[in-house]
């Protein structure tokens, strides 16, 4: 082990591009993980969302545009626009201790709205990582129309 440590500076000096690439990839990984940690709430896979619905009767809210929602949404989900997902919303206020899972097309908007709810004191907030695209890819069922 001590020989490895003594030869490491020589290796790093001889392989500068490889070293820079490693540092870049490591930095990108750390930044991504920190962003995920600081968002609030937790990302769910399609299987994780299914378990949350079945085991804890989660409230699933699809925050996609209405036209996108009507093209296909998670069974049992309710539609609200991101601007309607207000921490003081009467319907949501009843669910402060109930798990809330947010869904959008890609997962990005849902993560942002989840962070807002988490900051407002909602205990169990989740979002579908990858959104409806991940749901489709996992070959999970979609419901068309308004409900």
CB 129 within 8 A of CB 109: no
102 bridge partner residues: 61, 127
Q: Residues 13-47: pLDDT tens digits?
A: 899 999 999 999 999 888 877 766 655 568 899 99
d(CA 13, CA 7): 10
Chain segment 60-91, per-residue pLDDT in tens = 999 999 999 999 999 999 999 998 888 877 77
């Amino acid at each position: 082990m001590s020989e490895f440590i003594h030869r490491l500076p020589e290796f790093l000096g001889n392989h500068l591009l490889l070293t820079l690439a490693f540092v870049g990839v490591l930095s990108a990984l750390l930044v991504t993980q920190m962003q995920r940690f600081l968002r609030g709430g937790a990302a769910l896979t399609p299987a994780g969302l299914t378990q949350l619905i079945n085991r804890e009767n989660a409230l699933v809210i699809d925050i996609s545009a209405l036209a996108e929602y009507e093209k296909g949404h998670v069974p049992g989900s309710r539609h609200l626009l991101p601007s309607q997902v207000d921490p003081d919303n009467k319907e949501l206020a009843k669910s402060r201790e109930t798990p809330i899972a947010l869904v959008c097309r890609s997962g990005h908007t849902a993560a942002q709205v989840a962070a807002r709810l988490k900051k407002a004191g909602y205990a169990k907030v989740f979002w579908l990582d990858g959104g409806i695209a991940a749901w489709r890819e996992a070959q999970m069922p979609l419901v068309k129309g308004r409900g």
